[in-house]
Chain A
Amino acid sequence: MSTPTEEVSSENYNSAEHSPLLSEIEASLEDGKLPLKAFNDETVHELELERLFSREWIFIGHESEVPEEGDYARRYIAGDPFIFIRDMNGEIQVLFDSCRHRGTKLCRAEQGNTSHFRCPYHGWTYKNDGELVGVPQKEVAFKNLDQSEHGLHSAPRVDSYAGLVFASLSDAGESLEEHLGEFTWYLDIQFKLPDGGMEVIGEPHRWVAETNWKTGADNFAGDSYHTGFAHHSIKQLGLGGDDTVGVAGAGETKDRHIHCNGHTTSTRMVEGEDVFMTYPDEIVDLFNPDNVTSEQYTAAKEALSFTGSVFPNLAFLNFGDITDDPNKDVTGFLGLRKWRPLGPNKTEIWSWALAPKRASEETKERIYKVYMSNFGPTGNFEQDDVSIWNGITDVADSTFASQHNLELNYQMGTEQMSEVAYDEQWPGPGTVYAINLEEVGMQKFHDQWFDHLSTPLETSRRPERSECAGSSECELPEDGE
């Protein structure tokens, strides 16, 4: 058990009420641990909403989900509702779903296509880029209202990389480019390899689990250790190959854990072989070496799987050697997932399946089927994960855990626990562990999480009242009334 250290100065934390909690967490982190209660604590959750989810780049959706002008999908940043929409100019917008008059929500569907949103309350009408174009009885009721200043609020910053659209609720901070940094080397392998790009198949799975969002994030930040045990049934029944779901560090594969710019990825590879996540030839033929560097292409070629985590709450898995039926061929699939916090003990899990856009419908169906059999609420992998994760949530708000400051151990891969070997020859960026038995990637996730929690938001980060939607430069619409 650790006690708050003297050096932790409470003046870093803006509120005396948070100081003991944050000091306690900081002391644990320094020892490669984390207080158990961090996984189910109301104060921690509030700090996460205030200082992490309102500041960081949060995944909104993939561009292929809104292919046509006017296509939209309801999306959330933690509890806040946004409209993810492609406007009539083909630009992607992330608009706060709240009328500028009395505030109610405008979007009444999960997905659809529209040129305008009309408020059901008093009829204020907005174009699909957020511009306010209609105010009933305006000449009588609101004759001096400047419509150009009453467009729907946009998320202060919206940007995308390789089809992945992110938004930040803060107008300050590092750019998406800076946030992703060199980690794009790994994202490229997942999202840029096929000619024609990747697209989302169907609609994302969404379901609400009684777990803390950080548990899912932890799991994708380099938990190769759990695979051989938590998912032993997959191996036992021949639904996944030994090399993909076997015990970490015990097989013949070339296993790597990589930490890069605050994000993590892990891979299992077969050196010198043409593996390509065991995708069928039709997909491999779409993988064009010209779309990436030769080093990235070779990494993809040798990989059985990539799993990874983009800070804070996006994860991906490009998973191979897996099937829905031991008598059928294995394939790879690419999944994206987002851990949306709904409370300290409640997470809405969003899970997308993707395939190369130019793949045949038959192949897309097969890839989707294998994805769904293994991930999503009915997935043979995911069912077991979530059932186990709930147990963490249950004990994390126990009186015992809190009173005795029970800590979780993330020390694997540190010098105090194991021999640490790095791959100095690895062609990509980041710190590269030559073994997949390490938890330092999770420690780094916790460190960044803590940095946010212990840094108060400046009041200037609130969006300007007059900010118009539709353009980060905030240009006024030319033909506004």
Chain B
Amino acid sequence: MVNSMAVNEEQTAEIEQFLCKERVERFLYEEAALLDRREQKAWLSLLDEDIEYKAPLRITREHTNDNFSSSAYYFDEDYGSLKARVQRFESEYAWSERPPSRTRRFVSNVRASKRDDGTVEAKSYLLLYYGQGDSESYTFLAGRRKDVLRPDGETFTIAKRDVYLDHAVPKIDKISVFL
């Protein structure tokens, strides 16, 4: 009896974990689709108003492969500055997105774990195709992300996102997309 209860508890925990990861994946895929469809205002509604959204600069050091600046960033945003960027992209004179770029965000390698405070830590890889205009050229941005998500029914809101790009020196004219 005791053993089978323990097995059941283990299974329940694993099922819960599985469910959590499934929900996180579903959320991240939908988020990526929103951004790729340029529904940036809808994307804003997925962000908590106390969001911390950061993408620190990668720094090449001699002995370790994964160093990031503690004071220099591609993005160091709060809700207000993200909202301003969205409004700008949707305005008439944001030349960096005229014409609007074509993006495809491939989100993979998702790992999710519940944290003691009820939030979920979600780690993912991101590969972002970026093309614009009628040119044959395109580029990719690659990196990993670490999010803190707040459960909201069966879905989530984003409380925190750290993006760690893989590029030492991005070969892209400008980063005019959200990661």
Contact = CB atoms under 8 A, between A and B. Distances in A.
Interface of A: 108-112, 201-211, 230-234, 236-237, 239, 324-328, 348, 353, 365, 368-369, 372-373, 376-378, 380, 382-384, 386-388, 390
Contact of A236 (B57, B91, B171): B91
B75 A237 contact: no
Given A201-B71, A324-B80, A377-B174, 20 more contacts: A202-B69, A203-B57, A206-B169, A207-B169, A207-B171, A208-B170, A208-B172, A236-B92, A324-B81, A324-B84, A325-B78, A327-B80, A368-B72, A368-B76, A376-B74, A377-B172, A377-B175, A380-B88, A383-B94, A387-B98
Contact of B72 (A205, A234, A388, A390): A205
Nearest to A234: B88
Contacts of B74: 205, 372, 376-378
Interface string B35-60: 00000000000000000000001011
Contacts of A348: 169
**Looking at B71, B92, B96, B176, which has the most chain A CB atoms within 10 Å of its CB?**
B96
Contact of A388 (B57, B69, B83, B95): B95
B91 A111 contact: no
A384 B171 contact: no
Interface of B: 57, 59-62, 69-78, 80-81, 83-85, 87-88, 91-96, 98, 168-176
B47 to A, nearest CB: 14
Contact of A203 (B59, B95, B171, B172): B59
Nearest to A209: B173
Given A108-B62, A202-B57, A372-B73, A387 B174 contact: yes
Contacts of A234: 88
Contacts of A353: 72
6 contacts: A112-B61, A373-B85, A377-B172, A378-B74, A383-B96, A383-B174
A113 B91 CA distance: 46
B174 A233 contact: no
B61 A202 contact: no
Contact of B80 (A203, A325, A368, A388): A325
B78 A377 contact: no
Contacts of A208: 169-172
B85 to A, nearest CB: 7
B59 A110 contact: yes
B174 A112 contact: no
Contact of A112 (B57, B62, B81): B62
